[in-house]
């Protein structure tokens, strides 16, 4: 299990389904974050009044109201807290409404662990290790003095083929 992330506020999970709340709790704790659970809109409002959160995950339809109300409440607050809406009633209209209200992301249930991990990492401003390995490794261009004489004054690679470059006896690779 990864160590707890120091200095980071907990993540608030709002869902009226106890099983899903528990599953999200376990999954997020395994990622190394503290979690606070709320089973209703009223309970969520109480918990939001008590402390700060680094991320809020809410269901769209709760027993005593709509999760979109939490999205609107938090987007109107001076401190922006990312809010993600997770719902079983996924539709394009609901997604647009949630995003216009200020939601960070909108995901339809069932949520895979990869989706959840990516959502949490993106909301907290980090990229996952998997995403970092998929990005191509960009090599910085060679400094002008390290290039052959025929292309030293340019930022582009030599116009000649690597094997015919005047400044190098061996095959020269510009990048």
pLDDT in tens, 23-50: 999 999 999 999 999 999 999 999 999 9
Are the C-beta atoms of residues 42 and 50 closer than 8 Å to each other?
A: no
pLDDT given for residue 136 in this prediction? 47
Q: Which of 131, 44, 127, 126 is nearest to 85 (CA)?
A: 44
Are the C-beta atoms of residues 78 and 85 closer than 8 Å to each other?
A: no
3-class SS string, 131-168: HHHHCCCCCCCCCHHHCCHHHCCCCCCCCCCHHHCCCC
pTM of the model: 0.67
How far apart (Å, rounded) are the C-alpha atoms in residues 108 and 79? 26
Of the pLDDT bands very low, low, confident and very high (cuts 50, 70, 90), residue 8 is confident
pLDDT in tens, 118-152: 999 888 885 444 444 444 445 555 555 555 556 65
Q: 19: which 2 tokens?
A: 């099983």
Q: Which domains does the chain have, with CATH numbers?
A: 11-134 (3.40.50.2300), 141-175 (no CATH)
Tell me what the mean pLDDT of segment 51-74 comes to.
Answer: 90
């Amino acid at each position: 299990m990864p160590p707890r992330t120091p200095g980071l506020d907990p993540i608030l999970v709002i869902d009226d389904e106890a099983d899903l709340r528990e599953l999200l709790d376990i999954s997020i704790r395994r990622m190394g974050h503290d979690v606070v659970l709320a089973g209703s809109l009223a309970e969520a409002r109480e918990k939001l009044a008590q402390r700060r959160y680094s991320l809020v995950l809410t269901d769209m339809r709760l027993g005593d109201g709509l999760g979109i109300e939490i999205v609107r409440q938090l987007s109107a607050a001076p401190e922006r807290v990312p809010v993600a809406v997770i719902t079983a009633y996924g539709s394009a209209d609901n997604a647009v409404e949630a995003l216009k209200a200020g939601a960070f992301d909108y995901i339809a249930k069932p949520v895979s662990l990869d989706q959840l991990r990516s959502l949490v990492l993106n909301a907290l401003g980090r990229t996952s290790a998997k995403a970092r390995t998929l990005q191509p490794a960009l090599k910085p261009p060679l400094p002008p003095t390290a290039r052959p004489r025929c292309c030293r004054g340019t930022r582009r690679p030599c116009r000649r083929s690597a094997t015919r470059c005047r400044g190098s006896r061996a095959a020269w690779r510009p990048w």
